[in-house]
Amino acid sequence: MQADLTMGNLASALTLQSEETALVAELRAGSEEAFAWLIARFHQPIYSLLARTVHDRADAADLTQEVFVKVFRGVSGFHGESSLRTWIYRIALREASNQRRWWLRHKQQEIPIEIEIAENESGIPVKLKDTLVDLSESPFEMAVHEENRARVEAALLQVPEPFRTTLILRDIEGFVYEEVAEIQGVNLGTVKSRLVRGRACLKALLTATPKTKNLPASEGLELPLGEEAR
């Protein structure tokens, strides 16, 4: 039975690899149908990833389009060293990193999610969080009760980088440890270290009492990144 399962998994993996090879060949040939399929498959996951990792969620949609432009332009240089999915996510995280650097250089601070940006027709203030696009359901979000989703998302935004991105890739997007390491360009020990510390930070934020919820999110994470597990 175990041998049958192993052979079945191997056959499935080979089939997926063959399908991906064919897709990449179509993309390199400039197939509009192949690129349309790629966008349909990855647009929402990439948007969700970017909306959780950049400072200004309003920029996530534009950034998502830029990712696919770079995928289209760069697919000729994709040689299958990793899966196509991993390659696309790596491009997305590089764009998110560039966006964060731009933000820090030009904005210097994040816009509070509770900030009032306008008034509705009844004269009631409209907060920034009310204008954010609702993200699609993911396995992580479906496990959280509806009324707690906003609280979890807000807490996740307070988890410092690079722990937040590691949490998103592993616990929300479902990448295995090796894929997370490849996407982030670090080794497996560093991924596991970041994941432990990121989960601890998120748990602390979600279980904080009213007296402690205003403490810095990075408290307890002062260990320099260079001291992470290598």
Closest CA to 87 of 122, 38, 133, 40: 38
Intervals of the chain under pLDDT 70:
1-17, 103-147, 209-230
The domain locations on the chain are 1-133, 137-230
Residues 6-18: tens digit of each pLDDT: 544 434 544 556 7
The pLDDT of residue 159 is 93
**Whole-angstrom Cα distance, residue 65 to residue 72?**
11
**Whole-angstrom Cα distance, residue 62 to residue 71?**
14
The DSSP code for 28 is: H
Residues 49-88: tens digit of each pLDDT: 998 888 777 788 889 999 999 999 899 888 878 889 999 9
Q: Class of the 137-230 domain?
A: mainly alpha
107 vs 12, 48, 66, CA distance in Å?
Answer: 48, 23, 21
**Whole-angstrom Cα distance, residue 197 to residue 13?**
33
- The CATH topology of domain 1-133 is Rna Polymerase Sigma Factor; Chain: A (1.10.1740)
The answer to whether 1-133 and 137-230 have equal CATH topology is: no
5 vs 1, 9, 12, 13, 17, CA distance in Å?
Answer: 6, 6, 10, 12, 18
Q: What is the pTM of this model?
A: 0.61
